[in-house]
Amino acid sequence: MDDVDSCCALRFACPRCGEEACDEYEVLDSMAPAAWRCEGCTRVFDVLLLCCERCGAEVVSTALARREQLDARLVRCASCGEQLVGDVEVPE
Ligand SMILES: [Zn+2]
Ligand SMILES: [Zn+2]
List, as one string, the DSSP characters of the chain: ---GGG--S-EEE-TTT--EEE-TT--PPBT--EEEE-TTT--EEEEEEEE-TTT--EEEEEESSGGGS--GGG-B-TTT--BS-S------
pLDDT digit string, tens, across residues 28-86: 988 889 999 999 999 999 999 988 889 998 888 999 999 998 787 888 888 999 988 76
Nearest bound ligand to CA 19? 1
Determine the distance separating the centroid of ligand 2 and the alpha carbon of 39, expressed in angstroms. Answer: 30
pLDDT digit string, tens, across residues 5-15: 545 678 999 99
Determine the distance separating the centroid of ligand 1 and the alpha carbon of 29, expressed in angstroms. Answer: 21
The ranges assigned to domains in the chain are 4-74
